Amino acid sequence: MKKTPVIFGLFFPVILFICLCTGRYPITPGQVAGLLLAPLGVENRFFSAPPDMMMIFWNVRVPRIILSVFVGAGVSTAGAVFQALFRNPLAAPDILGVTQGSGFGAALVILFLSPLALVIQTSAFAFGILAVALAYILASLSRDSSPSVLVISGIVISAIFQAGLSFIMYMANPYDQLIQIIFWTMGSFNTASWAKVRAAAPLLFSGILLITAFSWRLNLMTQGEEDARSMGIHVARWRIFYVVVSTLMVACSVTAVGNVAWIGLIVPHIARYLAGSEHRRLIPMTAVLGGLFLMVMDTVARSLMLSEIPISIVTSIFGAPFLGYLVVSAGKARFSHEPQY
């Protein structure tokens, strides 16, 4: 365990650098180094970047990579939190309907109001939060306060918003509106900009910090509700805290880049192999791994083919088999590996 952070400490900058060098606009590693050093005041006698390269590097590639790291880290952290809260390793961060709500909110605006990015994003964010709030209200009407009731409420709300989304897609003009909606439902970092980084990164970063700070209590949340209460945790209140923080993070991500499938489900599992189930160690590992994973996936999405591939397709194609590989290769150890210290 002690080695893992060191390995990641070395790993992360290397992969970051590779991702910075990759893309359809060719920039060599030497040029990337020059571009990175230039603002620090380091004179570079061998190389001065042409203006269009400067523009693409600083205004397209760098914000896109920053955004993918934050979104990956945020959604993965939210996934780990939801898996703990619902005591279910198969829970995804959109189990309460935030993705479907956001998708519906975005599609609604695209169809009826305007294609203005800011309006679409506001609506997506609001509807994402609304969906989770509705799921919570629905669950609270039940006398049963167990998390499974909340899951069922989430399924109900998701289904309704998904139906609404499908209906709008059916109604939408296939030449412009539909394409916009589909790209939204499959997610893309195509529109990444410094403005989006400024909007999303602070919220995602503070969400991850908050969850990390309160990560040890998640261990208790995975135990039975009555067990956790008799150990001194006010389970209902803490569940709201974790759900609100996680939902804000996911809504913020979906608003910025659309739906990113699989990340929230798969990354916590990979992190559990590396760091064990104890959440004090698991949460930071999940965040780092999620950022790394989505950064690489987005690099693949933007450079593998001539045209951009929606991010959810890439994360599914690479993520799902990887999880399958982990399950098969680790065999029995999946549910019973010895935690490392």
Partner 1 sequence: MNLSIENISAGYGGIPVISHIDLTVAPGRICALMGRNGSGKTTLLRCINGLLPLLEGRVRVLGRDIRDLGRDKIARMISVVPQVSFSPFSFSCLDMVLMAGAARIKAWSAPSEKEKQKALAAMAETGIGHMAKRAFNNLSGGERQLVMLARGLFQDTPIMLLDEPNSHLDFANQHKIMALMQSLARKRKMTVLVTLHDPNLTHYYCDDVILIHEGGVRARGETGKTLTDEVLSCVLGNNIECDVTRKGVFVVVPKFNLVHMNEKVNL
**Which contacts (CB < 8 Å, 24+ apart) does range 306-310 have?**
306/24, 308/188, 308/190, 310/183, 310/186, 310/187, 310/188
Find out whether 99 and 254 touch, Cβ atoms under 8 Å: yes
For residue 303, what are its two tokens? 């450079």
| Nearest to partner 1 of 2, 45 (CB atom) | 2
Binding piece for partner 1, criterion CB under 8 A, among 57-65, 182-190, 228-236, 316-324: 228-236
Does residue 300 bind partner 1 (CB under 8 A)?
A: no
- DSSP code at position 95: T
Q: Does 144 bind partner 1 (CB under 8 A)?
A: no
Q: Is 336 in the site for partner 1 (CB under 8 A)?
A: yes
Per CB under 8 A, does 95 bind partner 1? no
**Helix/strand/coil percent split, the chain, to 5:** 75, 0, 25
Shortest distance in whole angstroms from residue 4 CB to partner 1: 16
Return the range that interacts with partner 1 (CB under 8 A); candidates 107-115, 149-157, 242-250, 274-282. Answer: 274-282
Residue 280 interacting with partner 1 (CB under 8 A) = yes
Check binding of 24 to partner 1 (CB under 8 A): no
Position among 9, 224, 321, 324 found at the interface with partner 1 (CB under 8 A): 224
Among the residue ranges 121-129, 229-237, 257-265, 287-295, the one whose residues contact partner 1 (CB under 8 A): 229-237
Task: Please report where in the chains the tokens 């109604």 appear, as a residue.
Answer: 171
- How many residues of this chain bind partner 1 (CB under 8 A)? 35
Per rule CB under 8 A, is residue 220 in the interface with partner 1?
Answer: yes
Amino acid identity of 6? V
Contact at 8 Å (CB) between 42 and 260?
A: no
With CB under 8 A as the contact rule, the residue among 51, 226, 306, 331 that binds partner 1 is 226
| Residue of the chain from 84, 98, 265, 301 that contacts partner 1 (CB under 8 A) | 84
Applying CB under 8 A, among 87, 190, 194, 308 the residue interacting with partner 1 is: 87
- Residue 317 CA to residue 190 CA, distance in Å, equals 19
The interface region with partner 1, picked from 66-74, 167-175, 224-232, 314-322 by CB under 8 A, is: 224-232
The full DSSP string for 258-314 is ----SHHHHHHHHHHHHH-S-HHHHHHHHHHHHHHHHHHHHHHHHHSSSSPPPHHHH
Question: Which residue lies nearer to partner 1 by CB, 156 or 229?
Answer: 229
Let me know: does 11 contact 291? Beta carbons within 8 Å: no
- Residue range at the interface with partner 1 (CB under 8 A); choices 95-103, 225-233, 244-252, 254-262: 225-233
Closer residue to partner 1 (CB): 29 or 224: 224
The pair of three-digit structure tokens given for residue 25, joined into one six-digit string: 């606009």
Distances (CA, A) of 232 to 63, 228, 237: 44, 7, 12
Q: Does 193 bind partner 1 (CB under 8 A)?
A: no
The type of residue at 36 is: L
Is 222 an interacting residue with respect to partner 1 (CB under 8 A)?
A: yes
- Closest C-alpha among 304, 269, 312, 311 to residue 290: 269
The yes or no reply on residue 324 touching partner 1 (CB under 8 A) is no
The helix-helix angle for 194-213 and 279-303 (nearest 10°) equals 160
Q: Does 175 bind partner 1 (CB under 8 A)?
A: no
Query: CB under 8 A: which stretch of 2-10, 18-26, 259-267, 270-278 binds partner 1?
Result: 270-278
Query: Quick check: 4 binds partner 1 (CB under 8 A)?
Result: no
Rg (CA), the chain: 21
227 binds partner 1 (CB under 8 A): yes
Please report whether residue 277 would count as binding partner 1 according to CB under 8 A: yes
Q: Which two tokens stand for residue 34?
A: 């020059």
Q: Report the distance separating Cα 245 and Cα 241, nearest Å.
A: 6
**For 121, which DSSP code?**
H
Residues at the interface with partner 1 (CB under 8 A) = 83-84, 87-89, 143, 213-217, 219-220, 222-224, 226-227, 229-234, 272, 276-278, 280, 335-339, 341
